[in-house]
Protein backbone atom coordinates (compact mmCIF):
# COMPACT_ATOMS: atom_id res chain seq x y z
CA UNK A 1 0.00 0.00 0.00
CA UNK A 2 2.67 2.39 1.00
CA UNK A 3 4.88 1.72 -1.95
CA UNK A 4 2.03 1.86 -4.41
CA UNK A 5 0.99 5.18 -3.06
CA UNK A 6 4.39 6.69 -3.24
CA UNK A 7 5.03 5.43 -6.73
CA UNK A 8 1.74 6.68 -8.04
CA UNK A 9 2.32 9.94 -6.32
CA UNK A 10 5.60 10.31 -8.03
CA UNK A 11 4.20 9.64 -11.47
CA UNK A 12 1.85 12.52 -11.27
CA UNK A 13 4.08 14.65 -9.25
CA UNK A 14 7.18 15.05 -11.28
CA UNK A 15 5.94 16.65 -14.44
CA UNK A 16 3.09 18.80 -13.22
CA UNK A 17 3.65 20.24 -9.82
CA UNK A 18 7.22 20.01 -8.83
CA UNK A 19 7.20 22.91 -6.46
CA UNK A 20 4.70 21.30 -4.14
CA UNK A 21 6.90 18.62 -2.80
CA UNK A 22 9.00 19.46 0.11
CA UNK A 23 11.29 17.39 2.22
CA UNK A 24 10.19 19.24 5.31
CA UNK A 25 7.05 17.76 6.73
CA UNK A 26 5.81 21.06 8.06
CA UNK A 27 5.94 22.42 4.59
CA UNK A 28 4.06 19.59 2.94
CA UNK A 29 0.90 20.50 4.83
CA UNK A 30 -1.97 21.82 2.82
CA UNK A 31 -4.36 24.53 3.75
CA UNK A 32 -8.02 23.94 2.97
CA UNK A 33 -11.00 26.16 2.57
CA UNK A 34 -14.31 24.36 2.26
CA UNK A 35 -17.57 25.98 1.20
CA UNK A 36 -21.09 24.78 0.57
CA UNK A 37 -23.04 26.83 -1.90
CA UNK A 38 -26.81 26.64 -2.01
CA UNK A 39 -28.47 26.01 -5.38
CA UNK A 40 -28.85 29.78 -5.63
CA UNK A 41 -25.12 30.38 -5.09
CA UNK A 42 -25.38 31.59 -1.51
CA UNK A 43 -22.57 30.34 0.68
CA UNK A 44 -24.29 28.43 3.47
CA UNK A 45 -21.25 26.97 5.18
CA UNK A 46 -17.55 27.84 5.34
CA UNK A 47 -14.65 26.36 7.16
CA UNK A 48 -10.87 26.67 6.91
CA UNK A 49 -8.57 23.97 8.14
CA UNK A 50 -5.20 22.42 7.45
CA UNK A 51 -3.72 19.00 6.93
CA UNK A 52 -4.00 16.65 9.86
CA UNK A 53 -2.48 13.59 8.22
CA UNK A 54 1.15 12.75 8.78
CA UNK A 55 1.44 14.78 11.95
CA UNK A 56 -0.20 17.96 10.69
CA UNK A 57 -1.77 20.22 13.27
CA UNK A 58 -4.98 20.81 11.28
CA UNK A 59 -4.49 24.56 11.20
CA UNK A 60 -4.82 26.43 7.92
CA UNK A 61 -1.84 28.52 6.89
CA UNK A 62 -2.79 30.30 3.70
CA UNK A 63 -0.13 32.03 1.71
CA UNK A 64 -1.67 35.42 2.08
CA UNK A 65 -3.24 35.23 5.49
CA UNK A 66 -4.35 38.85 5.47
CA UNK A 67 -6.54 38.47 2.44
CA UNK A 68 -7.19 34.73 2.54
CA UNK A 69 -10.67 35.17 3.95
CA UNK A 70 -12.04 37.07 0.96
CA UNK A 71 -9.63 35.68 -1.58
CA UNK A 72 -10.66 32.11 -0.90
CA UNK A 73 -14.32 33.00 -1.30
CA UNK A 74 -13.50 34.89 -4.45
CA UNK A 75 -11.45 32.10 -5.95
CA UNK A 76 -14.10 29.53 -5.18
CA UNK A 77 -16.85 31.61 -6.71
CA UNK A 78 -14.80 32.27 -9.78
CA UNK A 79 -14.67 28.54 -10.42
CA UNK A 80 -18.44 28.22 -10.52
CA UNK A 81 -18.56 28.61 -14.29
CA UNK A 82 -16.29 25.64 -14.64
CA UNK A 83 -18.38 23.65 -12.21
CA UNK A 84 -21.38 24.37 -14.35
CA UNK A 85 -19.60 23.18 -17.45
CA UNK A 86 -18.18 20.13 -15.76
CA UNK A 87 -21.37 18.96 -14.16
CA UNK A 88 -22.84 17.84 -17.49
CA UNK A 89 -19.74 16.01 -18.64
CA UNK A 90 -19.84 13.64 -15.74
CA UNK A 91 -22.65 11.54 -14.36
CA UNK A 92 -21.08 11.36 -10.92
CA UNK A 93 -21.53 13.76 -8.08
CA UNK A 94 -17.81 14.10 -7.47
CA UNK A 95 -16.14 16.20 -10.14
CA UNK A 96 -12.61 15.87 -8.75
CA UNK A 97 -10.18 18.72 -9.29
CA UNK A 98 -11.83 21.12 -11.70
CA UNK A 99 -10.01 24.40 -11.51
CA UNK A 100 -6.72 25.95 -10.55
CA UNK A 101 -6.03 29.52 -9.69
CA UNK A 102 -2.29 29.92 -10.33
CA UNK A 103 -1.65 33.26 -8.62
CA UNK A 104 -2.51 31.71 -5.29
CA UNK A 105 -1.62 28.15 -6.31
CA UNK A 106 -5.15 27.27 -5.30
CA UNK A 107 -6.77 24.07 -6.48
CA UNK A 108 -10.53 23.60 -6.49
CA UNK A 109 -12.32 20.28 -6.18
CA UNK A 110 -16.06 20.06 -6.49
CA UNK A 111 -18.90 17.77 -5.46
CA UNK A 112 -22.50 18.26 -6.52
CA UNK A 113 -25.55 17.08 -4.66
CA UNK A 114 -28.54 16.09 -6.78
CA UNK A 115 -30.52 18.91 -5.20
CA UNK A 116 -28.11 21.49 -6.58
CA UNK A 117 -25.96 22.28 -3.59
CA UNK A 118 -22.26 22.44 -4.37
CA UNK A 119 -19.44 21.43 -2.09
CA UNK A 120 -16.25 23.21 -3.09
CA UNK A 121 -12.88 22.55 -1.57
CA UNK A 122 -10.02 24.91 -2.15
CA UNK A 123 -6.66 23.40 -1.35
CA UNK A 124 -3.50 25.35 -1.29
CA UNK A 125 -0.07 23.84 -0.83
CA UNK A 126 2.25 25.77 1.43
CA UNK A 127 4.70 28.26 0.09
CA UNK A 128 8.17 26.93 -0.37
CA UNK A 129 10.99 28.68 1.40
CA UNK A 130 12.54 29.38 -1.99
CA UNK A 131 9.21 30.97 -3.02
CA UNK A 132 8.58 28.69 -5.94
CA UNK A 133 11.84 29.13 -7.81
CA UNK A 134 12.86 25.52 -7.56
CA UNK A 135 12.61 23.88 -10.94
CA UNK A 136 11.60 20.38 -11.82
CA UNK A 137 15.23 19.38 -11.77
CA UNK A 138 15.57 20.35 -8.14
CA UNK A 139 12.45 18.54 -7.27
CA UNK A 140 13.37 15.32 -8.89
CA UNK A 141 16.66 15.36 -7.11
CA UNK A 142 14.75 15.77 -3.90
CA UNK A 143 12.59 12.88 -4.86
CA UNK A 144 15.64 10.82 -5.44
CA UNK A 145 16.40 10.68 -1.80
CA UNK A 146 14.65 7.86 -0.06
CA UNK A 147 13.87 9.97 2.95
CA UNK A 148 11.77 12.39 1.02
CA UNK A 149 9.93 9.62 -0.79
CA UNK A 150 8.86 8.11 2.45
CA UNK A 151 7.84 11.48 3.68
CA UNK A 152 5.82 12.09 0.57
CA UNK A 153 4.04 8.80 0.84
CA UNK A 154 3.08 9.23 4.45
CA UNK A 155 1.52 12.54 3.64
CA UNK A 156 0.86 12.14 -0.03
CA UNK A 157 -2.57 13.69 0.24
CA UNK A 158 -1.03 16.82 1.47
CA UNK A 159 1.85 16.73 -0.89
CA UNK A 160 0.10 16.81 -4.22
CA UNK A 161 -3.27 18.39 -4.98
CA UNK A 162 -3.90 16.49 -8.21
CA UNK A 163 -2.64 12.99 -7.50
CA UNK A 164 -5.11 10.06 -7.55
CA UNK A 165 -4.54 9.66 -3.82
CA UNK A 166 -5.58 13.23 -3.20
CA UNK A 167 -8.61 12.83 -5.41
CA UNK A 168 -9.57 9.66 -3.64
CA UNK A 169 -9.09 11.25 -0.24
CA UNK A 170 -11.20 14.22 -1.25
CA UNK A 171 -13.85 11.86 -2.61
CA UNK A 172 -14.02 10.16 0.78
CA UNK A 173 -14.10 13.53 2.50
CA UNK A 174 -16.88 14.79 0.22
CA UNK A 175 -18.94 11.64 0.61
CA UNK A 176 -18.72 11.84 4.35
CA UNK A 177 -19.76 15.46 4.31
CA UNK A 178 -22.58 14.66 1.94
CA UNK A 179 -23.90 12.15 4.44
CA UNK A 180 -23.74 14.69 7.26
CA UNK A 181 -25.23 17.35 5.00
CA UNK A 182 -28.24 15.15 4.23
CA UNK A 183 -28.78 14.54 7.94
CA UNK A 184 -28.53 18.23 8.67
CA UNK A 185 -30.89 19.10 5.85
CA UNK A 186 -33.36 16.55 7.26
CA UNK A 187 -33.62 18.44 10.54
CA UNK A 188 -37.09 19.94 10.66
CA UNK A 189 -35.72 23.26 11.82
CA UNK A 190 -33.41 23.62 8.84
CA UNK A 191 -34.79 25.33 5.78
CA UNK A 192 -33.31 24.80 2.34
CA UNK A 193 -30.84 27.53 1.45
CA UNK A 194 -30.44 28.64 5.04
CA UNK A 195 -26.97 29.06 6.48
CA UNK A 196 -25.90 25.87 8.25
CA UNK A 197 -25.21 26.97 11.80
CA UNK A 198 -25.34 23.52 13.34
CA UNK A 199 -22.36 22.95 15.61
CA UNK A 200 -22.87 19.24 15.08
CA UNK A 201 -22.37 19.61 11.36
CA UNK A 202 -19.25 21.73 11.88
CA UNK A 203 -17.85 19.10 14.19
CA UNK A 204 -18.56 16.41 11.65
CA UNK A 205 -16.87 18.37 8.87
CA UNK A 206 -13.86 18.97 11.06
CA UNK A 207 -13.74 15.28 11.88
CA UNK A 208 -14.00 14.33 8.20
CA UNK A 209 -11.18 16.75 7.41
CA UNK A 210 -9.06 15.19 10.10
CA UNK A 211 -9.85 11.70 8.91
CA UNK A 212 -9.26 12.09 5.20
CA UNK A 213 -7.15 15.18 4.64
Partner 1 sequence: MSTQKASRIGEEIWKTRIDKVNAELVTLTYGTIVAQLCQDYDSNYQEVNKQLDKMGYNIGMRLIEDFLAKSGVGRCANFRETADMIAKVGFKIFLNVAPTVTNWTSDNNQFSLIFDDNPLADFVELPDDGRAQDELWFSNILCGVLRGALEMVQMQIEAHFVSDVLRGDDTTEMRVSLVRYIEDEMPPEDD
Which residues lie near partner 1 (CB under 8 A)? Answer: 183-184, 186-190, 197-200
Q: Which is nearer to partner 1, 155 or 180 (CB)?
A: 180
Task: Characterize the bridge pairing of strands 31-37 and 43-50.
Answer: antiparallel
- Report how far residue 186's alpha carbon sits from residue 128's, in angstroms, rounded to the nearest whole number: 43
Q: Which H, E and C letters describe 72-100, residue by residue?
A: HHHHHHHCHHHHHHHHCCCCCCEEEEEEE
Pairwise CA distance, residues 159 & 62, whole Å: 15
**CB closer to partner 1 out of 2 and 194:** 194
Q: Would you say 26 or 187 has its CB closer to partner 1?
A: 187
Strand partners, 111: 94, 119
- Compute the least distance from the CB of residue 45 to partner 1, in Å: 14
Dihedral over Cα of 88, 93, 96, 100: its sign: positive
- Taking the complex as a whole, how short is the minimal distance between the CB of residue 102 and partner 1, in angstroms? 40
CB of 34 to partner 1, least distance (A): 20
Helix axes 2-16, 164-186, angle to 10 degrees: 100
* Least Å from the CB of residue 185 to partner 1: 8
Query: Which lies closer to partner 1 via its Cβ, residue 157 or residue 177?
Result: 177
Shortest Å, Cβ 131 to partner 1: 44
From CA 51, how far away is CA 208, in angstroms rounded?
11
**Which residue number, 147 or 186, has a Cβ lying nearer to partner 1?**
186
Amino acid sequence: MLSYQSRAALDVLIPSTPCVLSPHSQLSKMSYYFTILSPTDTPIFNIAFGTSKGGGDGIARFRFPDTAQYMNQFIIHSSLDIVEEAQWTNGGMYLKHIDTYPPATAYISAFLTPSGARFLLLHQPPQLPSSGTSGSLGSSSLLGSSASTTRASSSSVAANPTSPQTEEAIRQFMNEIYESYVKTAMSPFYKQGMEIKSPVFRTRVTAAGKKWL
